[in-house]
Structure 1
Amino acid sequence: TLQRYGLRIYQDQLIAPLYDADRSLVNIVVLDPISQTNTKPLKLTVPFGLNLLSARNAEIMLVDSIWDALCVYQTTGKVAIALPSAKFSIRMNMIFEHLRKIHIWCSNDKALAFRLANVLSPHRCFMITYPMNAQGAFMSGHNLKTIMNESFAVINKCIEQFDTFRDLIRDELLQRTRFAGLTWQRFPMLTQILKGHRAGELTVLTGSTGCGKTTFLSEYSLDLCLQGVNI
């Protein structure tokens, strides 16, 4: 794992290189293997682990820290990229454009995790809401593969989003005649309001007891039956 990420040992410390998308070295971070923290906290200009990313990768994991990335790769074999204090730019989004599945494990900031998902396209993002980060789970002996497999989709495929119906609703409002249904012969005012009867559309009719709901619906149905509609 250390070799894959390009880490080197120097005077009992780990030197973690930071590469940009072109695999050019832009900075280094000094890690303390004993305390497992950054001995010299740096404001990272690029994420850690971009040197492992290639066009062959279809799935990655975004994590909080360099140690998290190392633990994930060691146990799952999946490329993990750390985004500590790095601004997620449009260019970074382009780098991840080819990926089909992105797991996000940001235990320190759940709001950031969902913002990342929105930027990266929520349809391919899967969230991990484990009560600890990847390093903590690894040190506690938890199975990171199982945790990764239990990630949930940011967007449920069973729930339609407004964007799916945006164009349809706009056309229905602007091109009423195109979406008009079968007009009623006895109720011209109703036709003017509802634009006719459309199969598959649900209309709820409410009112107090005895106000004529059943009588109206009987006439409503009879009108359509006379025009050949199966009721």
Structure 2
Amino acid sequence: MHASQPLPMPSSRLQALYNSQLLDQPDNAVLQYLTETRGLTVKTLRKYGIGRAKYSFNNDGAWEPVECVTFPWIMKASDVSFQEELRGVKHPVEDPSSFLTRRIKVRALENKAWQRLDPAGGGWGFFGYHTLDGADKSQPIVVTEGEYDAMAVWQATGIPSVSLPNGCRSLPVEVLPLLEDYEKIYLWMDNDGPGQEGARVFSQKIGLGRCFMVQPTLENTGCLEFADLPKDANDALLQGHDLKRIIMEAKPVPHEQVLSFSDLQDSVLHEILHPEKYEGTKLPSLPKFSAVVKGLRRGELTVVTGPTGSGKTTFLGQMSLDLAEQGVNVLWGSFEVRNTRLIHKLLQQFARQPLPKGDPSSADKLKDIAKRFGELPLHFLKFHGASELEEVLDAMEYAVYVHDCEHIVLDNLQFMISRQNLATRSGNSNFDKFDAQDIAIEKFRKFATERNVHLSLVVHPRKEDESSRLGISSIYGSAKATQEADNVLILQKDNQKKYLDVRKNRFSGDLGATEIFFDRATNRYTEAPTNHVVTPQIINKAPKASIEDHWGKYFSSQLTENR
């Protein structure tokens, strides 16, 4: 279905105003930060059109205007027209060779987590793309993770450099044609796990044959310790390294199925020295639980289970919002609850207050919540109930490629699996639910690994005595689900108490349970004032006992190590 209107763009005068507010008003805090803290020259700032403006951000319920750095996505009018034509919109321009500001990325000076794209709903572009104008397409260009890195590369080397529109998390398909004619592209992502993995993923989108991965090493920087290596290009500039040498020693992206130790050596040693950089994305609303699982990492499969009414969907909704609010692209597959009901629940969790049901006078308030919710990188599968496994995987593949989804929630496996469809396809009338479930889990495991996404999969438990606590063996089906899973989470119920119980954690081996409390007004979970973490080995000794009776009124704050 074709769009009818071009995507919104900033006012033609806005970019010039922001640039003037930065460079023509001396002694401002933004200019001081850029030149002194980031080491960028006024020439570089002018080249990239950097600006200064005030934008308002929500600070604990109050909108606060703050000083911001503005990063324009400047591109030729002909490129804007081409993007719109791909959307099915005619967008003629008077001068195709003129430059337009496609969008402006805004980042608060004091709080880097406060970011915005202006206008909302606008198109995609590269920061610094206008600097490629006139460049020899047979010569290399550099694509960096952040804006400061792109400017650092150009300032130090003169090599045309652009940055990704949304860090290492996203490379929208709308910008891929902009790189189509360049023969050699150097990807300089952050020197950590997510950054290097992002480089590998993006190289597959751009084309493996023309991509090279830039990585600072002891040899090309002269550093004596791995801990001293620069994190990114801007760090390399500030530390006085030879950025051109680092770039020229970039290596082709290795075949993902054929590696040598030399391909992995720097990454392995870096992970050993900086394990905290390889932990996953934390859930700010559940910090104690996050401390046990060490965040949620890409490439892993998490199996979530719990008795009926234990709050699995509520927990996963809160988890997906925690991730999306940090910029993680999330795909929801709700096979049991229709999307309209699911989004109703998510809206209340997002608002952190009761929604104004049946109150037409609060329509504007509800629209404001919906508008802010709509800016989150959340996507939803349309499937409901029994669905073809291959069709679900195909939709997931599309979402990962087009929307760069890096966390997928599937709720739940039993509702999704169609025994009849799988039996028909297999030609075996004895093809039972266990077989169907094992096939699905095997394919989901493979998908999470090969597409480097975190997949959270709900699998219902067997029917057991409600007074018994659930364990790994309680999960419905064969043992394949828990064998393939990197993490196994159980929402335990004990009378009026609930616990998030980590029963498997392949990353660190830390296990334990954290008591959680349900807030009906916000439809969210909160944690106890103290760390309610215990060893699951103790739990298993008395399967009939009450959780509180067995664990005691007070809990140890020590994590169980099972490495």
Name the TM-score, length of structure 2 as normaliser: 0.25
| Equivalent residue runs for 1:29-44 within 5 Å | 29-30=105-106, 38=112, 40-42=114-116
Q: 1:149 to 1:123 in 2, by over 3 A?
A: same
Amino acid at match of 1:104: L
Out of 110, 113, 125, which is 2:196 matched to? Answer: 110
Q: 1:98 to 1:142 in 2, by over 3 A?
A: same
Write the distance in 2 (CA, Å) between the matches of 1:128 and 1:96. 18
Q: Is the 8 A contact 1:55 1:98 kept in 2?
A: no
Q: Residue 48 of structure 1 corresponds to which residue in structure 2?
A: 127
Amino acid at match of 1:4: K
Q: 1:39 to 1:17 in 2, by over 3 A?
A: farther
Deviation at 1:121, TM superposition (A): 1.2
1:137 aligns with 2:213: no
Write the distance in 2 (CA, Å) between the matches of 1:56 and 1:111. 28
Q: How many residues align?
A: 155
Q: Residue 4 of structure 1 corresponds to which residue in structure 2?
A: 47
Amino acid at match of 1:88: L
Q: Residue 179 of structure 2 corresponds to which residue in structure 1?
A: 96
Q: Residue 60 of structure 1 corresponds to which residue in structure 2?
A: 141
Deviation at 1:15, TM superposition (A): 3.3
Q: Residue 501 of structure 2 corresponds to which residue in structure 1?
A: none
Name the TM-score, length of structure 1 as normaliser: 0.57
Write the distance in 1 (CA, Å) between the matches of 2:209 and 2:48. 29
Q: Is the 8 A contact 2:213 2:252 kept in 1?
A: yes
Q: Secondary structure at the match of 1:62?
A: strand
Q: Secondary structure at the match of 1:25?
A: strand
Q: Residue 102 of structure 2 corresponds to which residue in structure 1?
A: 26
Q: Residue 79 of structure 1 corresponds to which residue in structure 2?
A: 160
Amino acid at match of 2:160: V
Write the distance in 1 (CA, Å) between the matches of 2:200 and 2:177. 18
Q: Is the 8 A contact 1:64 1:106 kept in 2?
A: yes
Deviation at 1:135, TM superposition (A): 0.8
Q: 1:43 to 1:27 in 2, by over 3 A?
A: closer
Q: Residue 462 of structure 2 corresponds to which residue in structure 1?
A: none
Q: 1:32 to 1:139 in 2, by over 3 A?
A: farther
Q: Residue 150 of structure 2 corresponds to which residue in structure 1?
A: 69
Write the distance in 1 (CA, Å) between the matches of 2:188 and 2:212. 9
Q: Is the 8 A contact 2:129 2:162 kept in 1?
A: yes
Q: Residue 540 of structure 2 corresponds to which residue in structure 1?
A: none
| Equivalent residue runs for 1:102-181 within 5 Å | 102-107=185-190, 108-130=194-216, 131=229, 132-154=231-253
Q: Residue 166 of structure 1 corresponds to which residue in structure 2?
A: none
Deviation at 1:90, TM superposition (A): 3.2
Write the distance in 2 (CA, Å) between the matches of 1:10 and 1:90. 29
Q: 1:147 to 1:121 in 2, by over 3 A?
A: same
Write the distance in 2 (CA, Å) between the matches of 1:142 and 1:90. 33
Deviation at 1:80, TM superposition (A): 1.2
Deviations 1:47-104 (A, max 9, x none): 2111222353432111111111110110010111111526423332211111111000
Deviation at 1:143, TM superposition (A): 1.2
Deviation at 1:43, TM superposition (A): 5.3
Q: Is the 8 A contact 1:100 1:124 kept in 2?
A: yes
Deviation at 1:46, TM superposition (A): 2.9
Deviation at 1:10, TM superposition (A): 6.0
Q: Is the 8 A contact 2:185 2:210 kept in 1?
A: yes
Give the root-mean-square deviation of aligned CA atoms.
3.0
Q: 1:52 to 1:103 in 2, by over 3 A?
A: same
Amino acid at match of 1:5: Y
| Equivalent residue runs for 1:208-219 within 5 Å | none
Deviations 1:127-149 (A, max 9, x none): 01225200111111111111111
Q: Is the 8 A contact 1:128 1:148 kept in 2?
A: yes
Amino acid at match of 1:123: G
Deviations 1:139-167 (A, max 9, x none): 111111111111112258xx9xxxxxxxx
Q: 1:57 to 1:74 in 2, by over 3 A?
A: same
Larger radius of gyration: 1
